[in-house]
Amino acid sequence: MLDLKSKYPDFYRFYGRRVAKKLSNKSIESINYYFKSSSFDEEVINSFNKRQSLKIDKKYQRITLEVGFGNGEFLIKQSNLNKDSLFIGCEVYLNGFSKVLNKINDRQINNIKICSINFIYLIQVLKNETIDQIYFINPDPWPKARHNKRRVINNENLNLIASKLKKNCSIVVTTDSLDYYEYIVSILKNKDLIFRKIEHGELKTTDKLYGISSYQRKAINKNAKIYKVEIFK
């Protein structure tokens, strides 16, 4: 992985933390050991550089993408419940990425593919109209106005993200940041965007996404409200 990072630094550049606490020896070992077999960074980088779409096994009935999967709780749970689907996960935070690498290999999970590069490169090599669902579970809120540009969902990239969705499929975002929620709802008023329908509001406690990730649970434990936006193509 380090060789890819030094050869292609742009793909690994993003706003935020790559490592929260020192990587354990197990994490370093799993990255060294499993990276080549279980990640597809190299395929994404090569496809991007050759301006080709990423090749994806046609045997899967559905493809779900999760951006910023953190510790991978939702990704792994979903992959286990839907064996006919492929789950593509993208996460730049190496502590979480290495945990998921370990789980994929320990449990011999064969319907997850993960990459550790900035998702904006991954999204560009996905073939148009091939993805069934895209999740952003509590993306980094970047609350200061001058940092809003760093948000993974913004006015500039929403149409690009949507172009990867099949018709009648959706992008789902949950967030504990009222400001981010209102920002997303406000940019969806832009008439140039290609969406058919938008549903938004407070996430119900009965929703399957309620309490789904450690970051979200931390917010819930502090009595924060969680908001959901679902954007249908």
Ligand X SMILES: C[S@@+](CC[C@H](N)C(=O)[O-])C[C@H]1O[C@@H](n2cnc3c(N)ncnc32)[C@H](O)[C@@H]1O
Contact residues: ligand X, CB under 6 A: 14, 16, 67-70, 90-93, 96, 118-119, 137-140, 152, 213-216
In sequence order, which residues have a C-beta less than 8 Å from that of residue 163 and are 6 or more positions away?
Answer: 128, 129, 194
Closest distance between ligand X and the C-beta of residue 229, in Å?
15
Select the residue whose beta carbon is closest to ligand X and give its number: 68
Shorter beta-carbon distance to ligand X: residue 78 or 138: 138
154: which 2 tokens?
Answer: 């913004």
Shorter beta-carbon distance to ligand X: residue 170 or 174: 174
Shorter beta-carbon distance to ligand X: residue 84 or 96: 96
Angle between helices 25-38 and 94-106 (to 10 degrees): 70
Catalytic choice (10, 140, 176, 179): 140
Annotation marks residue 41 as catalytic: no
Closest distance between ligand X and the C-beta of residue 135, in Å?
8
- Decide if 137 contacts 61 (C-beta within 8 A): no
User: First CA to last CA across the chain, in angstroms?
Assistant: 35
207: which 2 tokens?
Answer: 């929703």
Give the burial string for 217-226 (b: 16+ CB within 10 Å, else e): eebeeeeeeb
Nearest to 231, CA basis, from 197, 202, 207: 197
Closest distance between ligand X and the C-beta of residue 27, in Å?
15
Shorter beta-carbon distance to ligand X: residue 65 or 169: 65
Q: With the C-alpha atoms ordered 131, 133, 137, 141, is the resulting torsion angle positive or negative?
A: positive
Closest distance between ligand X and the C-beta of residue 167, in Å?
26
What are the catalytic residues?
140
